[in-house]
Chain A
Amino acid sequence: MSFRLSYRADPGNPWFSWQYVRDNSDTILAALREHTSLTLRAVLIAVLIAVPLAVAAYWFRALAGPILAVTGVLYTIPSLALFAFLAPYLGIGVVTVLTVVVLYALLVIVRNALAGLTQVPPEVREAAEGMGYGRWGRLFRIDLPLALPGILTGLRLATVSTVALVTVGVVVGQGGLGQLIFAGFQNNFYKAQIMTGTLLCVLLALVFDLALAGAGWLLTPWLRRRSAA
């Protein structure tokens, strides 16, 4: 991604300038699109790995300890160190950023999904068994729907922290809005550009969070009824 930037003298507030936003809307939108797509891809991959892991830990209790321990260790590794471990092998590019971000999102989703699954009441589970549900039928029609609030909590936390973490991708030149922030810092400390990148980052996190909260509200009508009563 290369950024074409135009600077113009803009008296007034040095921290924000519509002039800058107007003149560089292409660049800003490109960075925003990049950031959004990185976040979406990362969270999607993380969910596809984390939910099966949580189900495995739920079915085979012996696996729960190791799975949580490994994801926990991954979480203590500093983000820059993780980039440093992966970049020599995966190269400078999108794959490295995606891998790092996915690894961080894993722990949060696995832990919350597992917590959601273990909170399924035992009498519900027994009733499902009594009604003749097999292991898979029970998983898809009983366990996962009831664990949905837990999974969504994990998903929201993972998404918000992913939006923030993607900016560290500047170290391999793929930081989305981080690229904008960092370029602003390097180009004579251009405050308006840094601020625009930062605000968009926080806004993006907020939009994702609200969207997921809305999805959760739509997907769990039984919780709504309970809280209304």
Chain B
Amino acid sequence: MTVATGPIEAALVWLNDPLNWTNPGGILDRTGEHLAISAAAVLLGCLVAWPIGLWLGHTGRGGGLVVLVANLTLAMPTLALLTILPLTFLGFGRPPVVVALAVFAIPPLLANAYTGVRAVDPEARDAARGMGFSSWQLLRRVELPLAVPYLAAGFRTAAVQVVATAALASFVNGGGLGQIIRAGFGLDIAAGGGQILAGGLLVAGLAMLVELVLALVERLVTPRPLRSRGRRAGRRAADAVSGA
């Protein structure tokens, strides 16, 4: 075995060991877990937040509720939800982790869905009404398609945040790449430093990768004429959430 001189060298040594990738509980296993948990959480978040956000935007009420939800989840420690939920009817294992992460995915999804529908040109809405669209048709065939850039922006923000937060699932043995970091901290800092750093690189790398892929997806699902506007819109909605 090579004598590692510093944490970075030790991290490279750790990453270069093929067994660390293919072992049960190795990098490949953990990445799969990480992505499965994150995907389930984002999906759950979308199922809850999008219908509510679109409906609130459609009726034009509940802007205060959106802000309230965003503020409440900002003050709620992730660690608290991760430790409380397994002790409820959800039981231990993956379901409580998925629910905890979904809670933190909801504010960006909700705010962007709400803002997206509110930002629809009132003239387009009036025109649709004039054509005899019912309230439901208006939402489904005018407001929803026009809100897609916002929905995509919210999806990206939420997904990146969930992938980043999923690392904390390791506190309750929920699996995912954070598990590698936790195991490293379980060792002595001198012995585990390389593994800790390697785990950090993997988690950060995965978050950046998801960010890049979803930026591409966001661009693809945004109709060409809306592209530059959509980007600005997404940023504005994000600012609305962060209160900027």
Q: Chain B residues with Cβ under 8 A from A170's Cβ?
A: 79, 171
**Chain B interfacial residues counted at CB < 8 A:** 43
Is B75's CB under 8 angstroms from A84's CB? no
Report the stretch among A17-25, A73-81, A136-144, A215-223 that lies at the interface. Answer: A73-81
CB-based contact B74/A161 at 8 Å: yes
**Contact surface of A with B, Cβ cutoff 8 Å:** 76-85, 87-89, 91-92, 108, 111-112, 115, 153-154, 156-157, 160-161, 163-165, 167-168, 170-172, 175, 177-178, 181-182, 184-185, 189, 191, 194-195, 197-198, 201-202, 205-206, 209
- For the complex, give the distance between the alpha carbons of A115 and B172 in Å: 39
Q: Interface centre among B77, B172, B208, B243, by most A CB within 10 Å? A: B77
Sampled A-B contacts (8; CB under 8 Å) = A78-B203, A80-B168, A80-B203, A84-B184, A164-B78, A172-B185, A185-B172, A194-B84
Interface residues of B (CB under 8 A from A): 7, 71, 74-80, 83-84, 86-87, 160, 163-165, 167-168, 170-172, 178, 181-182, 184-185, 189, 193-194, 196-197, 199-201, 203-204, 207-208, 211, 242-244
In whole angstroms, what is the CA distance A154 to B243 when docked?
A: 8
Give bound CA distance, A77 to B211, whole Å: 11
Query: In the bound complex, do residue A88 and residue B193 qualify as a contact, i.e. CB atoms below 8 Å apart?
Result: yes
Q: Per a CB cutoff under 8 Å, which of B76, B167, B196 touches A87?
A: B196
Q: Are B197 and A198 in contact (CB under 8 A)?
A: no
Contact: A80 with B77, CB < 8 Å?
Answer: no
Which one, A171, A175, A191, A202, contacts B76 given CB within 8 A? A202
Identify 6 new A-B residue pairs, CB closer than 8 A, beyond the known A170-B79, A177-B77.
Answer: A80-B168, A80-B170, A112-B244, A154-B244, A164-B78, A195-B84
Q: How far is the CB of A169 from chain B (nearest CB, A)?
A: 10
Contact in complex: A160, B197 (CB < 8 Å): no
Q: Is the CB of B75 within 8 A of A160?
A: yes
Is B204 a contact partner of A78 (Cβ separation < 8 A)?
A: yes
Least Cβ–Cβ distance between A73 and chain B, in angstroms: 9
